[in-house]
């Protein structure tokens, strides 16, 4: 059985020393091992951004896609071979900005995909512009006088879009994040793991120290029922002296794959192709 080190590659991450992406990478490798998966059973799809390089650092199948299109690519892969464990990775710009339409539709479809969003509240790869989750009033390279809009709240959006597993982790607590990712993988249906990720270079507001002081785990201050949607909304809007992490909401609903007739008996990729010669097309992919 694979352990976390089996999901390592020989490539050294190029992220800034101290970047929250390291904690996410550690948690992901551990969660894949905890889930009893082998590298060949896993497909990691990333978008464009600092986070996007993650496909090079996890020993598994990988597809470094384009900005904002992580979920369409992940959806195509899942429908072509639903036996693969598909993990989609996105930045907050990628997932909650340009890709926000895909985010909503993937959740209402309830595909069995786990989405990890490296939410550092900045467009970091492009050197620190405002992203959809940047807090109102924050001064960034693109908004030197402060952001005017209120930020997107991915948790309330996920609740209202039909996500069946919604959690929030913190890159500064890899063991807790590892558990959330493994639970998201075990969940049958769309699982969102929004990760509070300090970007030490371009976000001097939401730092590691900022989060360390404020984050708490749901359930540690008394009973919390993750099947109670009203309670989940109340916690999803909590952002101030206290910031909740952990499993926010969970429900059970048939997946999209369960209801697609053509893949019910076998993955599409295994279905014989009859009446069309696709050998020339396949040759191009060798």
Ligand X SMILES: Cc1ncc(C[n+]2csc(CCOP(=O)(O)OP(=O)(O)O)c2C)c(N)n1
Interacting residues with ligand SF4 (CB under 6 A): 15-16, 19, 21, 50, 120, 124, 199-202
User: CA-CA distance, 7 to 52, in Å (whole number)?
Assistant: 17
By three-state DSSP, how is residue 245 classified?
Answer: strand
* Two tokens, residue 38: 């082998």
Residues that bind ligand X (CB under 6 A): 48-51, 67, 91-94, 118, 120, 122-126, 131
In whole angstroms, how close is the CB of 93 to ligand X at the nearest point?
Answer: 3
Provide DSSP, 154-196: HHHHHHHHT-SEEEEEETT-HHHHHHHHHHHHHSSS-EEEEEE
Decide which of ligand SF4, ligand X, none touches 200; Cβ closer than 5 to 8 Å per partner kind: ligand SF4
CA 43 distance to own-chain centroid: 13
Count Cα atoms within 13 angstroms, Cβ side, for 235: 27
202 vs 256, which CB is nearer to ligand SF4?
Answer: 202
201 binding partner (options ligand SF4, ligand X, none; Cβ < 5 to 8 Å by kind): ligand SF4
For residue 15, the partner it binds in ligand X, ligand SF4, none, with Cβ less than 5 to 8 A by kind, is ligand SF4
194 forms beta bridges with: 117, 168
Give least dist CB 5 to ligand X, A: 25
CB 20, min distance to ligand SF4, A: 7
Instruction: Return the DSSP state at 128.
Output: S
CB of 112 to ligand SF4, least distance (A): 29
b/e string for 249-268 if b means 16 or more Cβ within 10 A?
bbbeeebbbeeeeebeeeee
Q: Which is nearer to ligand SF4, 67 or 82 (CB)?
A: 67
Pick from ligand X, ligand SF4, none: which does 126 bind, CB < 5 to 8 A by kind? ligand X
Our CB check for ligand SF4 shows the closer of 7 and 15 to be: 15
Is the Cβ of residue 59 or residue 122 nearer to ligand SF4 in the bound state?
122
Q: How far is the CB of 207 from ligand SF4 (least distance, A)?
A: 11
Residue among 54, 204, 57, 80 nearest 134 (CA) = 204
Binds 103, which of ligand SF4, ligand X, none (CB < 5 to 8 A, cut-off by type)? none
Smallest distance from ligand SF4 to CB 21, Å? 5
Distance CA(74)–CA(72), nearest Å, equals 5
């Amino acid at each position: 059985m694979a352990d976390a080190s089996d999901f390592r590659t020989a490539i050294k991450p190029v992220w800034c020393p101290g970047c929250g992406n390291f904690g996410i990478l550690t948690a992901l490798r551990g969660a894949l091992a905890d889930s009893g998966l082998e590298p060949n059973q896993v497909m990691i799809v990333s978008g464009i951004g600092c986070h996007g390089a993650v496909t090079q650092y996890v020993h598994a199948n990988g597809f470094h896609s384009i900005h904002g299109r992580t979920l369409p690519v992940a959806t195509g892969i899942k429908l072509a071979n639903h036996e693969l464990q598909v993990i989609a990775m996105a930045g907050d710009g990628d997932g909650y900005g340009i890709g926000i339409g895909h985010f909503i539709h993937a959740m209402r479809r309830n595909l069995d995909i786990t989405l990890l969003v490296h939410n550092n509240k900045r467009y970091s790869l492009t050197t620190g512009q405002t992203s959809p989750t940047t807090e109102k009033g924050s001064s960034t390279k693109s908004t030197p006088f402060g952001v005017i809009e209120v930020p997107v709240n991915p948790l309330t959006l996920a609740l209202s879009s039909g996500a069946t597993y919604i959690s929030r982790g913190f890159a500064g607590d890899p063991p807790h994040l590892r558990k959330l990712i493994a639970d998201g993988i075990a969940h049958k249906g769309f699982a969102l793991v929004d990760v509070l990720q300090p970007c030490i270079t371009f976000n001097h507001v939401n730092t590691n120290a900022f989060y360390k002081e404020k984050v708490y785990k749901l359930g540690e201050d008394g009973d919390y029922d993750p099947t109670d949607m009203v309670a989940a909304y109340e916690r999803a809007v909590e952002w101030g002296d206290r910031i909740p992490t952990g499993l926010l909401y969970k429900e059970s609903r048939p997946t999209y794959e369960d209801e697609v007739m053509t893949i019910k008996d076998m993955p599409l990729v295994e279905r014989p192709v009859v009446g069309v010669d696709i050998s020339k097309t396949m040759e191009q992919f060798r």
